[in-house]
Amino acid sequence: MNTPSPTPAEVKALAIADAKRLMRVARTGALATLDFETGLPLATLTGVASDFDGAPLFLLSELSRHTKNLGGDARASLLLTNLAERGDPLNQPRLTLGGPVTVHDDAAAKARYLRRNPKAKLYASFADFALRRMRIETVHFNGGFGRADALTVADLLTPAGDAAELLAAEDDLLKEVDGLGDAALAKLAEGASAGRRVWRAAGLDAEGLDLSAGTRTARVSFAAPEFTAAGWRRRLRQALEAPLTSDADV
């Protein structure tokens, strides 16, 4: 029996889901800036997290060359890839975002960054470090061989909504998630028993939940955005009750 080919709408929906997942689970990325001395692109590896709407966040030292570059020209490009341990890396999804990267003095955003990158707490309070945020203006997504899908900024960012209640409840919700126990979190992350990895909540947004276990990351994506705490809890219960397949970054 022949399997029907996916429709263009289904292909795009899969590309959007893959791209959004990369934005949410990535902890590092290749940040390209324009060098203030040579004018040539300079690519460096840097820590990254996602803001509530999905925009990239960085905790950068003012002493680093890429930060000095941004001071002269804020335009940058960020490459996010899937950290697969097996197979051809060129057949893995990757996402390139472009736009200005500027200082983002927001305590909630900094807390989001540190939850996803806990080792950054060692230097987050240093005077020469500041949080920055990319305003996404360009998107280039490649899902692997033969999958260079055209996506827009609107496709990637979480739809606008009144998120004040969800943001206010974020800390309590994350504690509730961790209180579900190792087996439940492993099911959410891997669709399997707890095994040897201990998963913990790393962050949430209107479209889902991020989990981490050491260097591993996973994403639980909701079918539709939820901007209230009650709605978010309901979506998470549905995810726990549904048969899951692994969405972990393995």
Domain ranges of the chain: 8-156, 164-241
Residue 193 confidence class, pLDDT cut points 50, 70, 90: very low
Does the structure show a pLDDT above 80 at 220? yes
- Exposed e or buried b per residue across 227-242, where buried means at least 16 C-beta atoms within 10 angstroms of its C-beta: bbbebbeebbeebeee
pLDDT digits (tens, 9 = 90+) for 22-63: 999 999 999 999 999 999 999 999 999 999 999 999 999 999
Q: What is the pTM for the complete model shown?
A: 0.90
pLDDT digits (tens, 9 = 90+) for 96-125: 999 999 999 999 999 999 999 999 999 999
Residue 83 confidence class, pLDDT cut points 50, 70, 90: low
> Which runs of consecutive H residues, i.e. helices, occur in the chain?
8-25, 65-72, 107-116, 153-156, 164-178, 182-190, 229-241
pLDDT (mean) for 80-102: 84
Does the structure show a pLDDT above 50 at 240? yes
Return d(Cα 155, Cα 20) in angstroms, integer. 9
CATH 3.40.50.300 assigned to 164-241? no
Q: How far is CA 179 from CA 7, 174, 185, 206, in A?
A: 41, 9, 9, 20
Return d(Cα 172, Cα 64) in angstroms, integer. 36
Residue 250 confidence class, pLDDT cut points 50, 70, 90: very low
Does the structure show a pLDDT above 90 at 232? yes
Percent of the chain at pLDDT > 90 equals 74
pLDDT at position 163: 86
Cβ-proximal residues to 152 (8 Å cutoff; 6+ apart), any chain: 139
Does the structure show a pLDDT above 90 at 203? yes
Does the structure show a pLDDT above 80 at 84? no
Secondary-structure class of domain 8-156 per CATH: mainly beta
**222: which DSSP letter?**
-
Across the chain, mean pLDDT equals 90
pLDDT at position 2: 65
